[in-house]
Structure 1
Amino acid sequence: MLSAPSQAAEARSPLASTVTSNGADVDAAPRTHDPDGPTARPLTAPATDADHIGSEAVDPSRRAPLSASKDALRRDYDSPEDSKPRHPAPSMKAGKDRKAVTAAAAAACEVGDFTSRTGSALVQQIKASTTDCVNTLFSVKGNDGYLAFREAQMVTVADALRDGSAAYPGDSSTGTPQLVLYLRAGYYVQYYDPETVGTYGTALRTAIRGGLDAFFASSHSSDVTDANGETLAEAVTLIDSAEENARYLYVLKRLLADYDSSYNDSWYMLNAVNNVYTVTFRGHQLPEFVKAVEDDPSLLDALRSFASDHLDLLGTDQSYLTSNAGRELARFLQEASLRTQVRTMVTDLLARTSMTGRTAPLWVGLAEMTDFYDRANCTAYGTCDLAERLRDAVLPVSFTCSSSIRIIAQQMTADELAASCTSLREQDAYFHRIAKDDGPVAQDGNSTIEVVAFDSSTDYQTYAGAIYGIDTNNGGMYLEGDPAAAGNQPRFIAYEAEWVRPEFQIWNLNHEYTHYLDGRFNMYGDFEAGISTPTIWWIEGFAEYVSYSYRDVTYDAALEQAGAQTYTLRTLFDTTYENADQTRVYNWGYLAVRYMLQSHRADVDTLLGHYRTGDWDAARTLLTSTIGTRYDADWATWLTACASGDCGTVTTPPDTTDECTGQDVRELGQDCARSGLAAAIGDYVYLYLYVPEGTAQLEITSSGGTGDADLYYSADGWATTSGYTDRATGSGNAHTLKISAPKAGAHYISLHAADGFDGVSVSTAY
């Protein structure tokens, strides 16, 4: 997944209803980050949704409603299996699916049903609607926002929450969750369009306090059930949406104190407890919240007690509850009036946990906070040079795959390293045959890639943020940086998919690597430039296409979407990280790219010509005007066939390199190959070619066959293991060397048999 720029404007907003958490790769330079609030963590294999919080720069005077349906991505490309923001915000668990509304639910929900009603009629409409329906109202805009959420409407709904809470039965039968969610939607929509919706004042503040007071006073609001948890979790978030963080400290303390193992059977109840950390995380932006804690610091005791009393949760599916308690306790280090008290508590918890092992999530969470808010006191905490210490302790494996690829890992065997390297190296040739590029785009110096592999998704989410300053609510992230900057090191950060063990797999390995190749050979400049117009359909769709087609894996999720006919091709050209959910970004991006490559290759070549020169406006004109809607009918026909299993044949583009024809079988040439090469272990196959004056780049590729051949190159004489200009080594026979501005004259290439090999080809192009 690529990571997109963070949006300071969203730093403090009432949370939107849901969040999708299956992202694809992201690329961006590591950044200084205020440790996020609660962290979203997948419970199982590919994470699903995580109703998370987390933000970047905060404007204390204006708290934007955090949209849970999108969080900044950047070409830090996230991978399509999970995603979350990285600001050590409290982490949320992604257990039960709470995905964006289904197309069917959305179609059955009309905004006019709400905008045309007032008073008791509005209340009845809300109660009669599904929560999925109410979820769609977070996206209401313009005059509909005014009609649905002006202050008088919100007061009516808040009063209905108050009046109904006394008889609240602990479930949704009386429409309480819909009322709470409607109020959350109102705060969200009003934040982003206050001039249209109107201001919220004393009348609503009085009404919302009455509604929340009554709900939390209800005896059934403490029931430990899914039925109650659905409403309770939203109500705790509503505290923050309404900026009533100071008033409801007692609710936060009660939830922390009441938690026990019975909560673990209910995702909603766990969500309710975790939402406590949302309220504390964002409460720091409200002076009255800080003052309330100063007056009654027992909230600090509640957070410390939860962390210390529930160390047993660390290493389990509920680990995030304990680590988030520590994070949010340590976040109070930013408040000078509370710092001395908090230092003592944090130091004690650090002493009871360790940098590695089962208690690491809590230790790292605490350490991140001290590093950000109290770095000058790092010696007392034992957290000085945090990122470097963690990197040294957690990522001891360093393995060179080739001259352009290095793997940094937490734990990988020799066979696992060899297999991963082979997969990456052999993807190079496949990518170039699809892309039909002429080498790197101008001013791109990202000639090497660092692949960081954590041992599991848990390790990734524990350590990657602290070491690399990234979001970890995803299936991996590509950090491109500035490709024109000297010394820039692109890397992607991933993890082993522990849920497929004993099979070994680095999750999204080929998707992430495609982002690196795409950024280097197809997309001019850095990621900010590349998304100056909507390009996400290509960026994420192409990464998905290459990953699935290269591995010869059927993308069942995308083919299933094809049958829904949800989007026209023209609509998909407008996809951004902000206006699309994960299904549209990845499943539909894949479908659009596959269709265009199979059916309109000439248009793709023209498009890539614009992308490679940074002519984003010309690319946009091609997509929106030249192509426009002209293919939409054919697209619909193709989708129908694809849904039935006939998407057309996805074949590996053939290697069309001709055999070299020189009489000397050792001589190579321009755009030709020598095949069937073989040697016994320790021996060499020697080759050479002549390069003309003015050659910009010489590319040398070895591939195919059996055994293990390493590729060596010399500009001055026969290349050997002890005398060479450049080399590409590692298991297997797939190696590539790129020589910039080679001198005119003879150049020497050899294959060295690290193990006996046979049937290998070497090709040269310039």
Structure 2
Amino acid sequence: MPKSPDTPRDPRPLAAESQGKPTAPAAGSTLGTARTARQLTACDTTGFTGKSGAALVQQVESAGLDCVNTLFTLTGNDAKGAFDEAQMVTVANALRDTAAGYPGDNSTSAGQLVLFLRAGYYVQWNNADAVGPYGTGLRSAIRGALDAFFAAPHSKDVTEANGATLAEAVTLIDSARENARYTGVVKRLLGDYTGGWTGSMAAAVGNTATVIERGFELPEFTAALQADPSFATTMASFVTRNSAQLTGSDPVTRIGIQIGNLVASDGLRAQGRPIVKDLVNRYPLVGATGPLTMNLLWFAENKDAGNCSYYGTCDVPAKLVPLVLTSDHTCNPNLRIRSQSMTARQNTDTCTSLVNQDAFFHRVVKDNGPVADDRNTALEVVVFDDYYNYSLYAWEMYHIAVDNGGMYEEGNPAAPGNQARFIAHQADWLRPGFQIWNLNHEYTHYLDGRYDMYGDFEAGMTTPTIWWVEGLAEYVSYGYRGVHYDDAVTQAGKGTYPLSALFDSTYDNADSTRVYNWGYLAVRYMLQSHPQDVDALLAEYRAGDWNGARTLLKTTIGTRYDADFATWLKACAADNCGTPPTDQAPLCTAADTRQYDKNCRRDGVAATTGDYGYSFLYLPAGVRQLTITTSGGTGNADLYYNGPTWATTSSYQAKSTNPGNGETLTISNPPSGWVYFSLHAQQGFGGVTVTTTYS
């Protein structure tokens, strides 16, 4: 399945992203005095890097929390000077002594000592060569410090004052990788927690999620949970008691997701199975509880595979479709949109965009219809509200990877009843504007697979074809929308790859820049400079002769065009990439410059900002399809069509409003008689070519 370029990520946790990835200790404090929206207070780090023993302890205790918080950024010699193992042992022993009389607030500077130790572990993790290793001396000292703190009666106070230090101490458990030793502390916090805990006390409980999640990376943590099955039931009880708090980005969800790690462990699977089964079936798959249930389902299906009957989840993919995709819109018999929440106008505009893209695509590839044995006559476009919902649900609904910006499923185009499907999401980071991320890119994959590539997607991957598959998708997406491809032009200036090397690109040997930016450059160059070779190549692709296509690229063409490609790249980097050859229609002959005919064009069309260029043509009875295109010139002209009456921005049946002047409208079964369209000057335009064709 072709992949889309990546997309910005949602910060909420996803189970699939945390497995098998050792992560660093948590970074700086966000609690207590150190929790502030302003920039951290300036702090002289030499007071920490040049002292040891009692002087270092005094320096830490007398510093403000904001000052200690800046130590998380130390590197090099400063990191060594502050956090050598001997310094860490000294401060750990000081925390042990202070904890013996911990009063439940920070009057004895326990918070500074805890935060310093957290900073040391963080800095050493990221600068191990500079700081040096931590050994048994520090392990013994940190255990003494944490034992003393958590044994102190006031460490159990449910107060904001205690919570500020307690939250940091909970995180220190993980920083020191003592997760297994303090499972009892975690269990106590989860068991004692109520909805009345707010502020730093709630944060302290929330921080146990890190202790649990990273604990599963440690064999001794798993062993501790094997020896104490009540830990698993305590986690489950914590979730069910506090399920009213579930929103997807709350501590209950985050901690509840970690229950899934139980079924990921051979030694804990027996404990985890009934708990995961209960939670997945207890809470709805969508809404506030969806992030919890779907992440736990991910663990059940990926870490305890083949047991959907036990979990009662075999029918979940089919159940999810109507639950998640509540909007169902049919553009035409060949195109359907299923989405979470698209409006009627968004559906209509999306249909128009895709239908009009057809004409642009066919002008580029000059096909003669679908390839043999292709029955993918209809495409289903699936649109999630945002990337998070895409990643949360699409993996289960359609069994696809979701570490991308969208996916096209071609299936077996020769199989009767096969459903081609583009699975996408809205670009929520562009709101309040509406955009389906990679919409035109992925639709090109559908068209390319149907009209250019014989067989299914895997057949087309038997030889390297990615330069064409992804390059064409980028070329059509940017060209059809009239959007300047800034990233590709920037890459052209670097001259990184010869053309012959790009013919060898695969998903495995190329990064996203080579796949998408350089694929676009290669396809654009070949379409403009060697269209006959493209025609010959597509003849091989359409016949499924992958070896013949490979011979054409690597032997017949080989390195012959590398030098010219390098010259073209330099011109393209200067924003002179040229234009592809086009088969222009003849000029219209009617005396009225507003009138068009069956297959004709008018050049030099212009209008000032806010004005219209009104046009019309006469259609005989029986016209099945009318296509109106605009191209070239300066400014920004938007195209509107309104059937038997004048077209304006407030009265229209269809529109194409891309940036620039590259607009296309394809009208199916238009009425006979005079029909009207217009170009509205979003920005004053001139030199535009307008073409009308119908069949």
TM range (shorter): 0.5 to 0.7
SS in 2 for 1:685: coil
Q: Does structure 1 residue 390 correspond to structure 2 residue 320? A: yes
Query: What displacement does 1:371 show?
Result: 6.4
With over 3 angstroms needed to count, the CA separation of the structure-2 counterparts of 1:491 and 1:279, relative to structure 1, is: farther
Query: What displacement does 1:128 show?
Result: 8.0
Q: Is the 8 A contact 1:162 1:214 kept in 2?
A: no
SS in 1 for 2:288: coil
SS in 1 for 2:404: coil
SS in 2 for 1:619: helix
Q: Does structure 1 residue 177 correspond to structure 2 residue 126? A: yes
With over 3 angstroms needed to count, the CA separation of the structure-2 counterparts of 1:171 and 1:707, relative to structure 1, is: farther
1:466 matched residue in structure 2 = 396
Query: What displacement does 1:412 show?
Result: 1.7
Q: C-alpha separation between the residues in 2 aligned to 1:169 and 1:468?
A: 43
Equivalent position to 2:291, from 361, 375, 393: 361
1:751 matched residue in structure 2 = 670
Query: What displacement does 1:547 show?
Result: 0.3
Query: What displacement does 1:578 show?
Result: 1.4
With over 3 angstroms needed to count, the CA separation of the structure-2 counterparts of 1:603 and 1:707, relative to structure 1, is: same
Query: What displacement does 1:650 show?
Result: 6.3
Query: What displacement does 1:595 show?
Result: 2.1
- 1:696-743 CA-partner distances (Å, limit 9, x unpaired): xxxx6432372259xxxxxxxxxxxxxxxxxxxx96795589xxxxxx
Q: C-alpha separation between the residues in 2 aligned to 1:490 and 1:656?
A: 34
Taking the TM superposition and a 5 Å limit, the aligned residue runs for 1:241-640 are 249=180, 277=213, 280=216, 293-297=225-229, 300=232, 304=236, 318=249, 325-330=255-260, 332-333=262-263, 341-342=271-272, 345-346=275-276, 349-350=279-280, 353-369=283-299, 373=304, 374-378=307-311, 385-640=315-570
With over 3 angstroms needed to count, the CA separation of the structure-2 counterparts of 1:295 and 1:396, relative to structure 1, is: same
Query: What displacement does 1:560 show?
Result: 2.1
Amino acid at match of 1:545: Y
Amino acid at match of 1:686: G
Q: C-alpha separation between the residues in 1 aligned to 2:215 and 2:173?
A: 12
Deviates more, 1:597-606 or 1:540-549: 597-606
1:706 matched residue in structure 2 = 641
SS in 2 for 1:473: coil
Structure 1 residues without counterparts, runs of 5 or longer: 4-20, 25-39, 55-64, 69-126, 130-160, 184-206, 240-246, 660-667, 688-699, 710-729, 738-749
Q: Does structure 1 residue 686 correspond to structure 2 residue 686? A: no
SS in 1 for 2:571: helix
Q: C-alpha separation between the residues in 2 aligned to 1:504 and 1:496?
A: 7
Q: C-alpha separation between the residues in 2 aligned to 1:353 and 1:557?
A: 44
2:69 matched residue in structure 1 = none
Q: C-alpha separation between the residues in 2 aligned to 1:215 and 1:519?
A: 64
With over 3 angstroms needed to count, the CA separation of the structure-2 counterparts of 1:323 and 1:429, relative to structure 1, is: farther
- 1:178-209 CA-partner distances (Å, limit 9, x unpaired): 6599x9xxxxxxxxxxxxxxxxxxxxxxx999
Q: C-alpha separation between the residues in 2 aligned to 1:363 and 1:209?
A: 41
SS in 1 for 2:383: strand
Amino acid at match of 1:403: P
Q: Is the 8 A contact 1:563 1:639 kept in 2?
A: yes
Q: Does structure 1 residue 42 correspond to structure 2 residue 13? A: no
Query: What displacement does 1:390 show?
Result: 1.6
Query: What displacement does 1:483 show?
Result: 1.1
Q: What's the Cα RMSD here?
A: 5.4
TM-score (norm 1): 0.55
Q: Is the 8 A contact 2:89 2:138 kept in 1?
A: no
Query: What displacement does 1:407 show?
Result: 0.9
Query: What displacement does 1:378 show?
Result: 4.8
Taking the TM superposition and a 5 Å limit, the aligned residue runs for 1:130-141 are none
Amino acid at match of 2:676: D
Q: C-alpha separation between the residues in 2 aligned to 1:212 and 1:539?
A: 56
Q: C-alpha separation between the residues in 2 aligned to 1:580 and 1:377?
A: 41
SS in 2 for 1:399: strand
Amino acid at match of 1:294: Q
Structure 2 residues without counterparts, runs of 5 or longer: 24-74, 78-83, 91-116, 147-163, 589-596, 602-614, 629-639, 645-652, 656-663, 678-690
Query: What displacement does 1:535 show?
Result: 1.6
With over 3 angstroms needed to count, the CA separation of the structure-2 counterparts of 1:534 and 1:42, relative to structure 1, is: farther
With over 3 angstroms needed to count, the CA separation of the structure-2 counterparts of 1:322 and 1:547, relative to structure 1, is: farther
Q: Is the 8 A contact 2:337 2:381 kept in 1?
A: yes
With over 3 angstroms needed to count, the CA separation of the structure-2 counterparts of 1:572 and 1:365, relative to structure 1, is: same
Q: Is the 8 A contact 1:481 1:488 kept in 2?
A: yes
Query: What displacement does 1:395 show?
Result: 1.1
Higher RCO, 1 or 2 (CA under 8 Å, sep at least 6)? 1
1:2 matched residue in structure 2 = 2
Amino acid at match of 2:327: V
Query: What displacement does 1:430 show?
Result: 0.3
- 1:314-347 CA-partner distances (Å, limit 9, x unpaired): 657x56x865654442354577985664355446
Amino acid at match of 2:10: P
